[in-house]
Structure 1
Amino acid sequence: MIDKFKAKFVEESLDNVNDLEEALFALENDMQSKDLIERIFRAMHSLKGGGAMFGFNHLSDFTHHLENIFDKVRNGKIKVTPDLISLTFSAVDEIKYLLEKGDLTARDDLDEYNLMMGEIQNFLQGGGTGNQENSSVSGDDASAANSEEKTYLISFIPGEDLLQNGTNPLFLLDDLHALGKGHSIVYTHKIPSFDNIEPENNYCLWQIILSTAESVNEIKDVFIFVEDECDLSIEEVGKGGFEMNPAVEKLIENARNSNTLIKVSDLKVLLNKNETEGKKTEQEQENTETEQGRKKSQLKDHKISSIRVASSKIDELVNLVSELVTIQAQLSVYAEKKGDNDILELAENVQKLSRQLRDNAFEISLIPMQTELMRFQRLVRDLSKELGKEIEFVIEGGDIELDKNIIEHLTDPLLHILRNSVDHGIEKPDERVAVGKSPKGNIYFKAYHAGASVLIEVTDDGRGIDVDSIRAKAVSKGMIEENEELSHKEILNLIFQSGFSTRDTVSGVSGRGVGMDVVRKKISEIRGEVTVDSVVGQGTTVTLRLPLTLSIIDGLLVKIGENQYVVPISSIEKIFALDKRQLKDSFNRVVIIDNEQLPYVDMREIFKEEIKETETHQMVLVRHEDRRLGLVVDEVLGEHQAVVKPLGRYLTSHEVVSGASILGDGSISLVIDTNRILQLTSSGKFRGKTKTSTE
């Protein structure tokens, strides 16, 4: 059971770390923001408390010292500086490592941990840049602070499920007593009989009489992570410190014996020795009770808007839905064979429900890209500082959602693209000024929906890609002939060829083009596409087109020879019926339809199927960007909801197939990769060296 809670703590702590990093990025641009400082402090406070509770002792100790810095920051004793931001970013890296490893044992890990702790201690003791101002308090100031001491009655009534969320109320009481001098009273009247006790439930409630010079907000901060799980009231009952006297002792004793909460008015009378001071009128008492009742009502009506679910459970749900879609297809085939109207109606209803269930399951499996954007921001920040460049990283569309499996495969290619932009795209400040640009470069990350796809554009305003240099390098490597004519776009696409690089020396980071073949390969593995566009002196844009999900696609079922294949509907523009003479009279694999020349490939040749002479043929026109291509097939069978399965090892090398699907009759249908066919046809690989047309 404790391992389960530990795993939940780590998961929630990583969310806190992401929030902490996000707040740090914002604080770097607005170093005076009290809200951001408070947000950072709260994240650290949460990490410290949870770490101690679940045995992450190094984590708890580390965040405690880091929290002390930001406690001084929010109290105006330390200024936020670039040095402090950098130190905190380094500390965040250590926190991530501590969450992964738990308490450290390896000597190298401990040395790194102690080094970071030393840097934090130095900063606290005045070793940081732009450090303490007014950090010491004079004797007169101390007297003034003591003169502002007040006494409060705090009523803390937690819900029964408080312990189940990993909160220990005794720790909260310790934090309260650390603020000043106090006395706690525990009430036990809610504890049921032994037979009815649930060990995981909390049945106690507390009142605390606390004297402190701290503000009410400081007291509230102790309960900041349980404020929705308890009834809490903090009432001032007296000026100055709290001293126990016989009358107060008797009040506390009566409260304990009767299990009745102390009234604010009663305690005020005893502490101020003036019954009229602070005494509530009946109307005030009624208002207080009404407000407490309202809070309890809100607590009771609180609805859980979201839940945290293990990703493995979501994967299992999607797999089960995929299998249901396959079974539903088999049911439809069976119903058509039987010709029974009742069965046909049932099959149609099951089809509607399975489609709704499919859509709902996939919505659950989608996660916002924002979860990974922090890594990209951190990469740009750290790399720009390392290379001595000024770069602003602008994100648009971070709330766009994608299948989590796609995001997992997408992270490395995007990191590589951004690394290229920082290293080779953006110039150094003096170079930018020399060509009339702002010394600060810009990298724009934009994600948006485009039909059934998501487009991601990474744009920099750097030096761009020199196509003459690309062409010269390609000729020297024997990739193209010296006199071969290529368009601007075709030359740029050469950077995706294996082993191509415009740099003669190896960079410690990476050069534009280094590994871009790997980027295209990884994007292709998730049925995506990558393109590049660039203007010398103005910048470069790398565009990724991605499917929303990998598991199920809407496809067109076609027959080629004796086998059936699936063509993704998202890539289809039109379907034509061709007379056999049109193909026979075609020149260089181009047919004329509606006074327009359209290139085509015969899919029967690609899949080595027997070509049967028929009066008419079907041509499926597919499109990507400005390229169009006709796929000649024997017959178009209709729409098909394809559950895409990975290919076995015997088919992984097939160039134009991206997966397989099980049909309703139990047979296997291969999924055609139309984008790959377009690429291979453009390069002249298929017979006839067909060149695609442009509009």
Structure 2
Amino acid sequence: MIDKFKAKFVEESLDNVNDLEEALFALENDMQSKDLIERIFRAMHSLKGGGAMFGFNHLSEFTHHLESIFDQVRNDKLEVTQDLVSLTFTAVDEIKYLLEKGDLTDNEDLDEFHQLMDRIQTFLQSGGKASKGTDHDSSEKGATETGSGEKIYLISFVPGENLLQNGTNPLFLLDDLHALGNGQSIVYTHKIPGFDVLDPKNIYCVWQILLSTSESLNEIKDVFIFVEDECELSIEEVGSGPLKILPPVEQMIADARNSNKLIKGDDLKSLLNNIDQKKAGGASKNNNGGRKKQKSQIKEHKISSIRVASKKIDELVNLVSELVTTQAQLSVYAEKSGDIDILALAENVQKLSKQLRDNAFEISLIPMQSELMRFQRLVRDLSKELGKEIEFVIEGGDIELDKNIIEHLTDPLLHILRNSVDHGIENPDDRVAVGKSPKGNIYFKAYYEGANVMIEVTDDGKGIDVKDIRLKAIRKGLIQESDELSRKEILDLVFMSGFSTRETVSDVSGRGVGMDVVRKKISEIRGEVTIDSEVGKGTTITLRLPLTLSIIDGLLVKVGQNKYVVPISAIEKIYSLDRTQLKDSFNKVVILEQEQIPYVDVREAFNEEIEESQNIQMVLIRHENKKLGLLVDEVLGEHQTVVKPMGRYLQRHQVISGASVLGDGSIAMVIDSNRLLQLNSAGKYRERNNKMTKE
């Protein structure tokens, strides 16, 4: 998972770098623009923060120093000059390289990195004034001038065994040495004797110090002026310039510590000379066209992802949908013609269109994480406003959904979260009074279940009392006192228009609208919403959503003169029944495989003419623990269904979610199988269906 977010950071960082370059080009033409300076600073700040978070330590360190320059610019302590712009362009190239490579390990890369860092620091320390004769496109020259006047010494310090007895602390001597410049100390323990002869009053340690300083040799000797007769001291000049503990030097130090053998001055001098030669070679290469390795890496870089306007994705999905319809027409024509070659061609086109369909819809999927930030902000702001302590926990933010579904999902989720904060979570004092923690919790969980995405929003608040809901519903005339309703049916009353469990109106909720809007919005995207609650423990609202809206895999069935599509994801089995099995059934329940299955005669449900036929096919659909059989005349086979929205007349139909154009030009209605299951008898469905038809 972390690799996925790391790749996302690199992608977004490259966008920041592109924006940074664009702003730099504009800054060259308008060096007084505060907006451009702020834009550059923000881009660098984003790169620094994200780099540290995802392990790009060199990137974070590098942009920190670069950001410091522009921080002084935005505070009017430095002026924008051509030198600064040129330096920043060079730095941008390094940032691109660091994004590509991650933290550097190659010695040459590290050497160039440190030299460019020195150049940035020099620019900052000099108040934005470049040294005379400096080539602003060569970080190596800047580094050389930074180190002018400094020399590197190897100091070997072997104190006499009685040094401590004279009141001298050798660690203070080391501190004085480090105060002269930049140093690295190595302690050796090879002179320590065995425990039986060890004298705690004596000193047995030996030190070597690598010191880079602009102070004179006499200043170094003066540190040891009071102990020069009680120690062996060697001071060797081994190089010039600032001391950088590069990998080769670091390895030499590590080897000395592990082997307890002192570093030889000639060996260190030779190593530093080799590093200087590599620097010179690197400078020459850069003067002849910049970092060759970087150019090579950039040339070989392959773009792993691109950003596309959502309008183009919508257009692509629509075109793929039309292609699927055309492919269906081709298949019909091929079957009618009977030509083997055309049939083979139609089959290949069908396979390709299905692959293209799947790829197109994968492109249109986006992670829910993109919307979760606004939900977090909502919970935070509302909890502060209402004086409540609430922790918002998210699980499954990387779940992907069709972007059109996410767009339609935002408002319902905002309603649900508002109700959880306002209705659900109690005030801290009330929670403590009933033995709860003063801080409430809201859990947002998303996960896949078959061809659907499930979203659960759970709070640990006061819950909903079904007795109160029933009484309020009776008082509002939504149900009769004599009506017998299950616990689930009573809870579902909160989704009815005009129902609210709150007595008073607040700025957050309680206006009698909200949960009915949730159900309406979720239904528009072929989803469903359920609620479960327990008094004193909390409430869970569950959304079941399809992965996509435009194309589904369906089973094409025929009923009378019309055709219908049933989503394959909802189908469990298909049975062939004898008419006598139905005549023996009671209350529209048939026994199959020793199980009682309720059924709906689709002819009767959709007011088709009733025709007696001996053989009937039943499509068994399932949702959660509910099953329902659909009696149809004929199963025609699998069909890639392009779901088109219904016209105004049929838009309110409860169990028709859309329509599809078939290959022969006819129309097939797409059945909402989950909604059919909610209507547990054909009688209930027919009553509602006839009512809508009259309307």
Fold equivalence (TM over 0.5): yes
Q: CA deviation at 1:337?
A: 1.5
1:628-684 CA-partner distances (Å, limit 9, x unpaired)? 222111111111110111112232132221111111111111101122222334696
The AA in structure 2 aligned to 1:547 is P
Contact 1:421 1:512 in 2 (8 A): no
- Spell out the pairing of 1:446-465 with structure 2 (5 A cutoff): 446-465=445-464
Q: Which residue of 1 aligns with 2:317?
A: 318
Q: CA deviation at 1:511?
A: 3.7
Query: Partners in 1 of 2:637 and 2:127 — Cα distance?
Result: 86
Contact 1:420 1:512 in 2 (8 A): no
**Does 2:578 match 1:579?**
yes
Q: CA deviation at 1:625?
A: 2.2
The AA in structure 2 aligned to 1:321 is V
Query: Partners in 1 of 2:371 and 2:567 — Cα distance?
Result: 28
Q: Which residue of 1 aligns with 2:116?
A: 234
Query: Partners in 1 of 2:486 and 2:448 — Cα distance?
Result: 29
Query: Partners in 2 of 1:283 and 1:176 — Cα distance?
Result: 38
Q: CA deviation at 1:281?
A: 3.2
**Cα distance 1:52–1:623, how it changes in 2: closer, same or farther (>3 A)?**
farther
Q: Which residue of 2 aligns with 1:354?
A: 353
Q: CA deviation at 1:563?
A: 0.9
**Cα distance 1:304–1:459, how it changes in 2: closer, same or farther (>3 A)?**
same
Query: Partners in 1 of 2:650 and 2:39 — Cα distance?
Result: 55
Contact 1:502 1:512 in 2 (8 A): no
SS at match of 1:459: strand
Q: Which residue of 2 aligns with 1:267?
A: 145
Q: CA deviation at 1:349?
A: 1.3
The more displaced of 279-288 and 540-549 is: 279-288
Query: Partners in 1 of 2:80 and 2:365 — Cα distance?
Result: 50
**Does 2:470 match 1:592?**
no
Q: Which residue of 1 aligns with 2:524?
A: 525
Contact 1:681 1:689 in 2 (8 A): no
1:499-549 CA-partner distances (Å, limit 9, x unpaired)? 222223222211497421211111010000101111111111100010110
Query: Partners in 2 of 1:293 and 1:309 — Cα distance?
Result: 32
Which has the larger Rg? 2
Q: Which residue of 1 aligns with 2:477?
A: 478
Q: Which residue of 1 aligns with 2:537?
A: 538
**Cα distance 1:287–1:225, how it changes in 2: closer, same or farther (>3 A)?**
closer
Q: Which residue of 2 aligns with 1:114?
A: none
Query: Partners in 2 of 1:517 and 1:244 — Cα distance?
Result: 63
The AA in structure 1 aligned to 2:464 is I
**Cα distance 1:224–1:385, how it changes in 2: closer, same or farther (>3 A)?**
farther
Q: Which residue of 1 aligns with 2:246?
A: none
**Does 2:277 match 1:278?**
no
SS at match of 1:481: coil
Query: Partners in 1 of 2:674 and 2:294 — Cα distance?
Result: 59
**Cα distance 1:446–1:260, how it changes in 2: closer, same or farther (>3 A)?**
closer
Contact 1:49 1:60 in 2 (8 A): no
Contact 1:392 1:440 in 2 (8 A): yes
Q: Which residue of 2 aligns with 1:367?
A: 366
SS at match of 2:533: strand
1:346-395 CA-partner distances (Å, limit 9, x unpaired)? 11111111111111010000011011101100000000000000000000
Q: CA deviation at 1:479?
A: 2.9
**Cα distance 1:430–1:628, how it changes in 2: closer, same or farther (>3 A)?**
same
Contact 2:551 2:641 in 1 (8 A): yes
1:257-308 CA-partner distances (Å, limit 9, x unpaired)? xx98873576358677999732973543325756944333333333222111
Contact 1:574 1:621 in 2 (8 A): yes
**Cα distance 1:508–1:270, how it changes in 2: closer, same or farther (>3 A)?**
closer
1:405-460 CA-partner distances (Å, limit 9, x unpaired)? 00000000000000000001001111111111111000000001111110000000
**Cα distance 1:241–1:507, how it changes in 2: closer, same or farther (>3 A)?**
closer
The AA in structure 2 aligned to 1:524 is S
**Cα distance 1:567–1:59, how it changes in 2: closer, same or farther (>3 A)?**
farther
The AA in structure 2 aligned to 1:367 is I
Q: Which residue of 2 aligns with 1:561?
A: 560
**Cα distance 1:446–1:486, how it changes in 2: closer, same or farther (>3 A)?**
same
SS at match of 2:663: coil
Q: CA deviation at 1:402?
A: 0.4
Contact 2:499 2:513 in 1 (8 A): yes
SS at match of 2:240: coil
Q: CA deviation at 1:177?
A: 11
Q: Which residue of 2 aligns with 1:296?
A: 295
SS at match of 2:506: coil
Contact 1:683 1:689 in 2 (8 A): no
**Cα distance 1:666–1:426, how it changes in 2: closer, same or farther (>3 A)?**
same
Contact 1:557 1:565 in 2 (8 A): yes
**Cα distance 1:610–1:289, how it changes in 2: closer, same or farther (>3 A)?**
farther
Q: CA deviation at 1:173?
A: 12
Q: Which residue of 1 aligns with 2:308?
A: 309
* Unpaired segments ≥5 residues, structure 1: 1-17, 20-38, 75-154, 157-168, 187-204, 209-218, 691-695
Contact 1:444 1:460 in 2 (8 A): yes
Q: Which residue of 2 aligns with 1:211?
A: none
- Give me the TM-score of the superposition, normalised by structure 1: 0.65
1:156-207 CA-partner distances (Å, limit 9, x unpaired)? 9xxxxxxxxxxxx9x9799499776998659xxxxxxxxxxxxxxxxxx945
Q: Which residue of 2 aligns with 1:424?
A: 423
Q: Which residue of 1 aligns with 2:653?
A: 654
- Spell out the pairing of 1:20-59 with structure 2 (5 A cutoff): none
The more displaced of 374-383 and 652-661 is: 652-661
Q: Which residue of 1 aligns with 2:383?
A: 384
Considering only aligned residues, what root-mean-square deviation do their CA atoms show, in Å?
4.6
Q: CA deviation at 1:320?
A: 0.7
Query: Partners in 1 of 2:540 and 2:645 — Cα distance?
Result: 31
SS at match of 1:592: strand
Q: CA deviation at 1:470?
A: 1.0
SS at match of 2:116: strand
- Give me the TM-score of the superposition, normalised by structure 2: 0.65
Contact 1:176 1:222 in 2 (8 A): no
Query: Partners in 1 of 2:319 and 2:313 — Cα distance?
Result: 10
**Cα distance 1:499–1:227, how it changes in 2: closer, same or farther (>3 A)?**
same
Q: Which residue of 1 aligns with 2:550?
A: 551
